[in-house]
Amino acid sequence: TYYDNVRVPRDNLVGELNGGWALMTNQLNHERVALTSAAPTEQSIRLVREWAQQTKNADGSRVIDAEWVQVLLGRAHARADMLKLLNWKLASATDDLSPDHASATKVYGSELATEVYRSLMEIVGPEAVVSGDSEGAVLRGRLERFYRSALVMTFGGGTNEIQRDIIGYVGLGLPAAKR
């Protein structure tokens, strides 16, 4: 959303006069970065890798020995590392956190998590969608639970569509989206 010519009674001011928008967007920027921590994704990648090293296919080969499994795990690992670097960069920006960079990281992180969990579930197979308290659940249902959480992150902290509008308007100087 965009606001212009907003008037607030003096008694309702939070912080300095004309400083409310900066205060609010700074908080939102930090929230967007915090929402997309790479840590849960990295841990899930490690758990699936360990599972794939220990689990045998019907032909006796280990799941990890399939080239497609190695490719999916490698891609997931590389993308999670990229997210971690983005988050470190933005977390160190303190007061100089640009809304377009925070929005870009939020979009990247939430969509990365969704894609990575899909890949990890593909590696584990049908048992990956079994919830944690059910018989036959692999990794205590972590992948199913975290996949659902990753989907929520695409609209938590502001929908990814709105984040893309912020990236375009603030970061690229494009006209504000018509809503």
Rg of the chain over CA atoms, in angstroms?
Answer: 21
At CA 97, angle to CA 82 and CA 32, rounded to 5? 60
Cα–Cα separations (whole angstroms), residue 14 to 19, 26, 117: 8, 14, 41
Identify the DSSP state of 169. I
**Catalytic site residue 31?**
yes
Q: Which residues pair with 62 in a beta bridge?
A: 56
Active-site pick, 31, 42, 111, 115: 31
Spatial CA neighbour of 123 closest among 165, 78, 70, 84: 70
CB 130 within 8 A of CB 136: yes
Chain-centre distance for alpha carbon 60: 36
Tokens representing 103?
Answer: 């929005």
- Catalytic sites, residue numbers: 31
